[in-house]
Amino acid sequence: KRGFTAAVPFPLAQYGGRFTVTMIPGDGIGPELMGYVRNIFRYAGVPVDFEEIQITKDSTEDVFEKALVCIKRNGVALKGSIESKYGDVNFSSRNATLRTQLDLYANVLHCRSHPAVPCRYPDLDLVLIRENTEGEYSMMEHESVRGVVESLKVITRRCSDRIARYAFEYAKRHGRSKVTAIHKANIMKISDGLFLETCRNVAKEYPEIEFGDMIVDNTCMQLVSRPHQFDVMVMPNLYGTVVSNVACGLAGGPGLLSGQNYGEHFAVFEPGTRNTGTSVAGLNVANPVAMLNAACDMLNHLGLTQHATLISDAINKTINEDLVHTADIGGENTSLDVVQNIIKEVQQAMKDGEW
Ligand code: ATP
């Protein structure tokens, strides 16, 4: 299909059967979560070497450029969130800039509930596909006269077309039956109107997949009251961050779900809600699962599906059978308790020859 690529066509960095992946720990809980990933990968014998480049809110442009080059070289990155400097008008969000510089146009968040995690609705299984490079995140704002600020929201047919196509192709590949476009075209008639019209046009090419649309405010209400009506959802950038957080909240909070960012050439994996978790950093209380799930998505992307399954099965057993839960999902265990239990499950599965 025109304008759609499902996978990274560039060669991935691989030497002697081992992959090299860029690791950006970021601020807050990022560094400790990356330590857990490294530890579990070692026990699971994962053939991945990390090239670590730390970007924090205080890093220089040079370091940021170095990180971009590193991701371009390796093709794949695992990333924590970099704190944004509120109020500093000369400083653009490093997270958003990284996504636009690498043209990671599609953010995919698979929202599933866990049987053993308290959750308003069991059996949640939604996929949110968010345009990741434009909209309100164009970061073009100015004060035209004192006290009057203009902020440009940019919606283009090209980016709307490729994200709509990504959503329909995703639905087709994963046997999903419905795509819902989320918008505010009743108020933003031209910008969101273009997004909606483009989605409608792409939908005509996929008659086997049901298409619907919904206004974003109603979407938030429907998500918390009747989430099972949704299957795949596609939306512009800002609505994406809001609706993703509602979905993560429904499924148990910021500590569980992963987020995947794809472009034509590169892929970056990170926790779904993109929080820094600064207030819980260094306390051994952060839930490591979202970052570990991001690491499993990364392994699947690299084609290391056996290792991905080995670790994700261990994560699921830890949560749903062994009931080792951190405080954010109602438990009393520490981050290290969760990690040690996952390692125990990995070792058990390897001993049993389950993989
Ligand atoms: P920032 O702009 O720094 O990312 P934010 O408001 O987006 O801030 P945070 O404050 O980092 O988000 O996170 C929101 C809430 O979720 C906080 O209460 C934080 O402690 C919690 N949180 C985030 N990640 C985790 C995690 N992995 N485990 C437990 N709690 C978490």
Res 156 pLDDT > 70: yes
Helix (H) or strand (E) holding 43: helix 30-43
Closest CA to 248 of 268, 263, 267, 270: 270
Encode pLDDT of 77-97 as tens digits.
999 999 987 767 767 889 999
DSSP tag of 46: -
Query: Ligand 1: which of 91, 248, 275, 280 to mutate, judged by most atoms within 8 Å of the beta carbon?
Result: 275
Lining ligand 1 with CB less than 6 A are: 28-29, 81, 83-84, 254-255, 275-280, 286-287, 290, 328
Q: Is the pLDDT of residue 16 over 80?
A: no
pLDDT band at 354 (very low <50, low <70, confident <90, very high): low
Strands (E), 35-169: 48-52, 76-79, 106-112, 125-131, 141-145, 148-151
ipTM at complex level: 0.93
As beta bridge partners, residue 259 has 270
Q: In whole angstroms, give the CA distance from residue 231 to residue 228.
A: 7
Q: Which atom of ligand 1 is nearest to the CA of 286?
A: 28
Which one is predicted more confidently, 136 or 178?
Answer: 178
Using the mean position of ligand 1's atoms as its centre, give its distance from the Cα of residue 29 in Å.
Answer: 9
CA–CA distance, 282 with 302 (Å, rounded to integer): 30
pLDDT, residue 109, reads: 98
Q: How far apart are CA 263 and CA 259, in angstroms?
A: 14
Q: pLDDT tens digits, residue range 284-342?
A: 999 999 999 999 999 999 999 999 999 999 999 999 999 999 999 999 999 999 999 99
**Closest residue CA from atom 7 of ligand 1:** 275
CA distance 107 to 268: 9
Sorting pLDDT into bands at 50, 70 and 90, what band is 10? Answer: low
Residues 6+ apart with CB under 8 A from 9: 264, 265
pLDDT (average), residues 158-183: 98
- The reported pLDDT for the residue numbered 21 is 98
Work out the pLDDT band at 5, boundaries 50, 70, 90.
very low
Mutation pick for ligand 1 pocket among 280, 287, 333 (CB with most ligand atoms within 8 Å): 280
Q: Do the beta carbons of residue 4 and residue 165 sit within 8 Å?
A: yes
Distance 253 CA to ligand 1 centre (A): 9
Distance 6 CA to ligand 1 centre (A): 31
Residue 8 has pLDDT above 60, yes or no: no
Lowest mean pLDDT among 120-124, 158-162, 351-355: 351-355
Alpha-carbon gap, residue 70 to 89, rounded angstroms: 27
Mean pLDDT, range 141-156, rounded to an integer: 94
- State in Å: Cα 276 to ligand 1 middle: 6
Q: How confident is the model at residue 122 (pLDDT cuts 50, 70, 90)?
A: confident
Q: Encoding tokens for residue 246?
A: 């509602």
- Report d(CA 237, CA 253) in Å as an integer: 20
Which residue, by CA, sits nearest to atom 5 of ligand 1?
Answer: 275
